Structure 1
Amino acid sequence: MKVTERLKILLILGLMLTGGILFSLVILNDNQVRTNQELHQVIEIELKINELGTRLWLLFQYNDQDALIQTRYAHQDLKELLEREQFNNESKNSIIANLIRMNLNIGSLIELSQKDIESKFQPSITTPAGMLSARYNMTLQSMNEDLTKLQKLAMRDAELSQRKILYAVVIFLTLGSVFVLILTIMTLRTFKAHLNVLTLGIKDLEKGNLGSRLLVSDTDELSELAEQFNLMKHSLETTTIKKEQLQEEVDRQTKELQKQRADFQLLANYDSLTQLYSRSAFESQMKTAIARCGRTKLNGALLFIDLDRFKPINDNYGHSVGDIVLMHVSKMLTQAVRTSDIIARIGGDEFVIWLEPIENARQVTTVIEKLLLSLSTPFKYGDISVSVSASIGVSFYPLDAADLSGLLRVADDNMYKAKANPDTHYHFTPEANRRFSITKLA
């Protein structure tokens, strides 16, 4: 399998794992929303039952027509609510049906209370009114017990559902991660093996050994390179030339191979379009910079830059003009900062700049304003006049974070806040804004 195909598979697996996580989060959110809705329904029913209990207590205390009317209103409200509520579970709906039945029983007791009022019985435990009150209390107690069961059922169902989802996610992520790990290890081993073979072949060539051949046992890109290397040595071996010419050809071919290796290294460390640091090289440089700041107690600032309205340039003028714009932007960025600062292109139209050392926030805003001014100046490419703008998020070391991932996260978040605010093109964290007037950031 070719290396590019393996990398494509790793990319697909990464997207699948990310999609699986997002999908599980959506399901968990839906489950939580459904649980909250059910608990809200239970609370509504509980409130109506408590209101009915209060009205029944007033009816027993005052035994008059007004209290009876209010009790009937509360009973009717509870009846309408119970008839309206439905759950997606047979056990829960069974409890609702039982509550409806007990509410009907209370309705019958209310009619009996009407007769007690008309007969003007004095409330007592031995009187019909007292017996009705006892039956009211027993029925309300049963309704509250059923409500408790309903609430426990809702919470239990939510717990079981979440547990199933989490188990599925853990299994999915574990299997996916294991497969990614295995494929990554195999790819690294392939790289290492082929590079060792190429290194030995180059050393043999430097010694003038034209008879040896590189062992080609695969069909990937590096094996094709090894095959081309063998063809080159065969051509040198079978061509009759003078010793000086042969040595010159060997030197030329060796330098070409060394240049290819240097080009591979350059592609790994620098962006091929802008010649700025690549993301991996930037991360390596930043580890050293952060360690240096931590050791010397110096402050630093990370600028996350995203170009505005870059997509319309590609759409209207083509990607070739878009590439020219990116190279122009990289040139402007390089001219606006110190040679000791670190600049990298980490995405299509995303750049990062590390400023070190800095003593106050004003130094950072000065650099940002210089950047924004240079970027906003239109430049011509042929008959096309192009101007760009940028949104910049800033994070400070060690004020906002003490590691690269934290600094990138804060700066990225601030960049989106700057993009959302039409009045400014850059944004600090609230803590940095609060200390903006303070000379020292530390």
Structure 2
Amino acid sequence: MISSLFKKLFLLSTTTMLLTLLIVLSFSKISSEQKQTKVELDTIIDLQLRVDLLRSQLWVFLQFGDQPSLKQVEYAQAELATQLTAYREQGSQFDNIQRMNQSLQALLGQEKRLYFSDINSQHGISATRLLHSRYNMIVQNMTEELAHVHRVVLDRNADNLTNVMTYAAAWLIFCSLLVSFVAWLILLRFKSDAESIKKAIVDLAKGKLDAKVDTASMDSEFKVIAFFFNQMTISLRETTVTTHELEEEVKRQTMQLKKKQEQLIFLSEHDPLTGLYNRRAFDKSLESAIVKANRSGCKLAILFIDLDDFKCVNDTYGHDAGDVILVTIADRLGKVTRQSDFVGRLGGDEFVICLDLLQSFDILPQKTQQIMKAISEPITYNDRELKVSASIGVSHFPDQTKNKEALLSIADEAMYRSKQVTGASCFDGTKLTCEGMKSEVVELASARKLTP
């Protein structure tokens, strides 16, 4: 018994290849037999046509008995002789016809001698009649011989095809049974070995560290897998820890993963310098705030903040000083906003605040004053006092627009209007609309200038 899955598969594939080769050879043999039979039948048909031509020429000669018709008979007989000579290499099946044709040739020679002698004598007339009857007999025998050869060819072809089909069918049945047997053997052994390994793995999953795979009747490939599995269970029994220790380790690893996940989420949503929301996180929070405002009927305001004189400080005292200013401003903005509000840094020295859950906008003047004051307070850096101010633009939801992008754009445009004024300032256009926002000159029905 073969104890290797590879060897079984190799035997199966080899047998399949032999089966395929046998089928190809069988069809090739059948095709060859058919081609040979076709050639022989074509030869018989050609000879039959020659014999029919000879018969027709003889009939003409017997009707007219003149020299031209005799020459046509001789010509037809000569063509038949030529074809028989050409087909002689196919075998001896046309030998009888060739002998008949030779006899016919001899009779035609006698016919010519009688034709030039006294054919009107009693002896000549009798000889001529005898020759004519011999003509008909020979041509008839040729036709019968061709019919016999035709039948022999067909019988031989049928016998050859029967033999080919019989041997091919026998080998096909044998190879098919062998393939089926090998495939069934592989299936049974594979299923048995796989079930043994599966049972051992299930036992191990249930905590049975003494699980072991019996390799006595396995194929060599599965024996290797079973050997490593058994070695693994031995190592597990030697190195396994208690359930309590395992639970503690799982808790510790889970906490570490949770902390790392929280860190990754924080880094993906917050500005790495200030810790404020980045643009993506601010947009996401603003979307949620707009949905909540639509549902609750509350209002919200966007404060777009740009630091004045920040570039001058940054160029004069360096990027470290600029970073200190940004971090300090971010901390101050967090202190002057409510817990429901959220602050983001859009990049550079631009900040944005969303005042959420507002019942009205009456709080805005006081809140913007508070923010400008907090930003304008001095910042100490390397024993120096640095000061920056803020230009603020305000937009209102839903009074001005219900669209998130339009809300930010209105606040941004209002901020740029505020920057036209020297020093800290806030521009609040309470009736700015989305359509007015697209034009170069925006008309504001109510605007007020606030200074700290």
TM-score computed with the length of structure 1 as normaliser? 0.51
Q: 2:68 aligns with which of 52, 66, 69?
A: 66
Give 2:108's aligned amino acid.
Answer: I
**Judging changes above 3 Å, is the alpha-carbon distance between structure 1 residues 178 and 97 closer, same or farther for their aligned structure 2 residues?**
same
**Counterpart check, 1:23 vs 2:25:** yes
1:40 paired residue number: 42
- Aligned residues of 1:60 and 1:129 also touching (Cα < 8 A): no
**Counterpart check, 1:225 vs 2:215:** no
- Aligned residues of 1:49 and 1:140 also touching (Cα < 8 A): yes
Structure 1 residues 3-12 or 39-48, which shifts more?
A: 3-12
CA offset at residue 21 of structure 1?
Answer: 0.9
1:105 paired residue number: 103
Aligned length in residues: 246
Q: Deviations over 1:16-54 (max 9, x none)?
A: 211111111111111111111111111111111111111
The 3-state SS of whatever aligns with 2:43 is: helix
Instruction: Within 5 Å, give how 1:318-333 maps onto structure 2.
Output: none
**Counterpart check, 1:241 vs 2:241:** yes
- Aligned residues of 1:121 and 1:127 also touching (Cα < 8 A): no
Aligned mates of 1:213, 1:248 — CA distance in 2? 29
2:9 paired residue number: 7
1:263 paired residue number: none
Give 1:107's aligned amino acid.
Answer: Q
- Aligned residues of 1:52 and 1:71 also touching (Cα < 8 A): yes
- Aligned residues of 2:4 and 2:220 also touching (Cα < 8 A): yes
Aligned mates of 1:122, 1:174 — CA distance in 2? 77
CA offset at residue 85 of structure 1?
Answer: 1.2
Aligned mates of 2:146, 2:121 — CA distance in 1? 33
CA offset at residue 169 of structure 1?
Answer: 1.0
CA offset at residue 173 of structure 1?
Answer: 1.0
Aligned mates of 1:23, 1:32 — CA distance in 2? 14
Q: Deviations over 1:192-250 (max 9, x none)?
A: 11221122212211222222321112343222212211111111123363334568999
Aligned mates of 1:100, 1:248 — CA distance in 2? 108
Give 2:135's aligned amino acid.
Answer: Y
Instruction: Within 5 Å, give how 1:256-335 maps onto structure 2.
Output: none
Q: 1:86 aligns with which of 88, 91, 100?
A: 88
Give 2:206's aligned amino acid.
Answer: K
CA offset at residue 62 of structure 1?
Answer: 0.3
1:358 paired residue number: none
- Aligned residues of 2:54 and 2:77 also touching (Cα < 8 A): yes
1:211 paired residue number: 210
CA offset at residue 88 of structure 1?
Answer: 5.1
Aligned mates of 1:10, 1:245 — CA distance in 2? 52
**Judging changes above 3 Å, is the alpha-carbon distance between structure 1 residues 165 and 147 closer, same or farther for their aligned structure 2 residues?**
same
Q: Deviations over 1:89-121 (max 9, x none)?
A: 5xxx0x422222211211122122224433354
The 3-state SS of whatever aligns with 1:231 is: helix
The 3-state SS of whatever aligns with 2:88 is: coil
The 3-state SS of whatever aligns with 1:211 is: coil
**Counterpart check, 1:148 vs 2:147:** yes
The 3-state SS of whatever aligns with 1:210 is: coil
Instruction: Within 5 Å, give how 1:180-191 maps onto structure 2.
Output: 180-191=179-190
Aligned mates of 1:43, 1:75 — CA distance in 2? 16
Aligned mates of 1:23, 1:208 — CA distance in 2? 59
**Judging changes above 3 Å, is the alpha-carbon distance between structure 1 residues 173 and 122 closer, same or farther for their aligned structure 2 residues?**
farther
**Counterpart check, 1:139 vs 2:141:** no
Give 2:86's aligned amino acid.
Answer: R
**Judging changes above 3 Å, is the alpha-carbon distance between structure 1 residues 209 and 240 closer, same or farther for their aligned structure 2 residues?**
closer
The 3-state SS of whatever aligns with 1:24 is: helix
CA offset at residue 57 of structure 1?
Answer: 0.9
Aligned mates of 2:121, 2:38 — CA distance in 1? 46
Give 1:78's aligned amino acid.
Answer: L
2:197 paired residue number: 198
1:307 paired residue number: none
- Aligned residues of 2:196 and 2:213 also touching (Cα < 8 A): yes
Give 1:205's aligned amino acid.
Answer: L
CA offset at residue 131 of structure 1?
Answer: 2.2
Aligned mates of 1:249, 1:2 — CA distance in 2? 43
- Aligned residues of 2:50 and 2:79 also touching (Cα < 8 A): yes
**Judging changes above 3 Å, is the alpha-carbon distance between structure 1 residues 219 and 190 closer, same or farther for their aligned structure 2 residues?**
closer
Between the aligned residues of both structures, percent identity stands at 26
2:59 paired residue number: 57
- Aligned residues of 1:121 and 1:129 also touching (Cα < 8 A): no
Give 1:189's aligned amino acid.
Answer: L
The 3-state SS of whatever aligns with 1:59 is: helix
Aligned mates of 1:121, 1:244 — CA distance in 2? 139
- Aligned residues of 1:56 and 1:71 also touching (Cα < 8 A): yes
Q: Deviations over 1:128-157 (max 9, x none)?
A: 332221111111111112111211111111
The 3-state SS of whatever aligns with 1:31 is: helix
Aligned mates of 1:232, 1:212 — CA distance in 2? 10
TM-score computed with the length of structure 2 as normaliser? 0.50
**Judging changes above 3 Å, is the alpha-carbon distance between structure 1 residues 110 and 96 closer, same or farther for their aligned structure 2 residues?**
same
1:177 paired residue number: 176
- Aligned residues of 2:119 and 2:125 also touching (Cα < 8 A): no
2:378 paired residue number: none
Aligned mates of 1:241, 1:232 — CA distance in 2? 15
**Judging changes above 3 Å, is the alpha-carbon distance between structure 1 residues 40 and 237 closer, same or farther for their aligned structure 2 residues?**
same
Q: Which has the larger radius of gyration?
A: 2
CA offset at residue 126 of structure 1?
Answer: 7.0
**Judging changes above 3 Å, is the alpha-carbon distance between structure 1 residues 122 and 193 closer, same or farther for their aligned structure 2 residues?**
farther
Q: Which stretches in structure 2 are left out of the alignment for 5+ residues?
A: 251-452
Aligned mates of 1:154, 1:249 — CA distance in 2? 90
Aligned mates of 2:89, 2:159 — CA distance in 1? 17
Give 1:99's aligned amino acid.
Answer: I
